[in-house]
Amino acid sequence: MYIGRFAPSPTGPLHFGSLVAALASWLDARRHGGRWLLRIEDLDPPREVPGAADAILRTLEAFGLSWDGPVLYQSSRLETYWAALDELRAAGHAYDCGCTRREIAEAGQPGLDGPVYPGTCRAGLPPGKAPRAVRLRTEAGEITFTDRMQGPIRQDVAREVGDFVIRRADGYFAYQLAVVVDDAFQGITHVVRGADLLDSTPRQILLQRLLGLPTPAYLHHRLVLTPEGEKLSKQTHAPAVDDTNPVPTLIRALEFLGEPVPRPADVRSPEEVLDHVMNSTGP
């Protein structure tokens, strides 16, 4: 069975870019006759906005994007992340790191996601350093997969990213570890998300292999950009979508995805818009 998901972070209300991501995932799941799950990735309390999680749920409902089963909150899953971290440590795949960002920036070579970690603590904490973050030990060799939209992808994680953080210096678990553990827990078979996460996927596949977890099929769609060419996001001050009049915005999101859309005069509700799309020949 196809099982997809949408996993927003409650750092603010849904903007147009995140609506497109939710819609792309929802459509793919429904066209495959599958289930569409919702996960709130609330693992970064300093960045979370009070009430944002509930606002996200209300907005999805207003746009007709219904989900299956209960919502999963990552904040309820900390024991599971600890268990995965302990497993990686026991197998020698994870180690403590005492380096600061400044030290890494000064010693690391440029990589895909900032400076490549130079391996300072790989053989153990140097004298005078206290443990801060926990890193995954990477080894040379390419991770390869075929993205359903982007095609064949190859990445040497050790060379292009380096030993990456799986538990942050502030004590919170890193996205890469939590997303892998939760995708497996929810039985996710297909991940549909924005192309900004394409470079993270080899890291997640590496973690899946080390933890003995299945690898979903991935599809990374193009991003909604600002007029300046930046990703539309909370950091670029993207406004919240208007869920009091959802039909025009829903049609615009479908047009962005290249979907067949009805004339606004022919539909009165998001459900009618989505029914039109599901009954038409998609891209």
Q: Are 179 and 7 in contact (CB under 8 A)?
A: yes
Exactly one of 234, 249, 257, 275 is catalytic; which is it? 234
129 labelled catalytic: no
Q: Which residues pair with 114 in a beta bridge?
A: 111
- Full strand arrangement of the beta sheet holding 72-73: 3-6, 35-40, 72-73
* DSSP label of 74: G
The answer to whether 23 touches 54, Cβ cutoff 8 Å, is no
Distance CA(183)–CA(205), nearest Å, equals 11
Q: How many Å separate Cα 71 from the centre of its chain?
A: 16
For residues 198 and 39, what is the distance between their CA atoms, to the nearest angstrom? 19
d(CA 150, CA 153): 8
Total Cβ atoms within 10 A of residue 171: 8
Please answer whether residues 71 and 40 qualify as being in contact, where contact means their C-beta atoms are separated by less than 8 angstroms.
yes
**148 in helix, strand or coil?**
coil
| Catalytic (active-site) positions | 234
